[in-house]
Structure 1
């Protein structure tokens, strides 16, 4: 039985050429799909009004010292005028609550 080596090489070359063509077609299809998807879709971000308000409040809190200077000034003036009244029952209650919280945490 004789094998024709020349035809074997030619058929292998034809198969390789067909495979290369198929790969090139697939690559061009993939590139076209990627291009069309990129042109069709654009990323976008939208921030809700609640998030915008929250951001503004965070900035305001960060810029604030945390002290109500107007209230401090009123108390100072009341003390200076002798009009500041201390609720001793409330003060005692809060001291006891503070000490209770302090000792329970240990």
Structure 2
């Protein structure tokens, strides 16, 4: 039986029928009714909801983003090199203490 998935951009082929033998025997007449006399199989289709398609598109966009904000890294490097990068020791200590309390 051929299965078409619409709305999915990168899909693999479906090679295994997930029906159990009991389901096959009860649905055989339905498959036979949907099959033409030339021996072609009926196709099952799956359609994704608009929400699922939106989530899939957003996931693709997120996967394309870099994990590093290179512009910010370059600004910090430049500030360190020029001697203008100041460290707020109170804020650093507070952040370290709050991280320590997590463990």
* TM-score between the two structures when normalised by the length of structure 1: 0.47
Provide TM-score, normalisation by structure 2.
Answer: 0.48
Structure with higher helix content: 1
Q: Which has the higher contact order (CA 8 A, sep 6+)?
A: 2
More strand by share: 2
Instruction: Give the number of the structure whose alpha-carbon radius of gyration is greater.
Output: 1
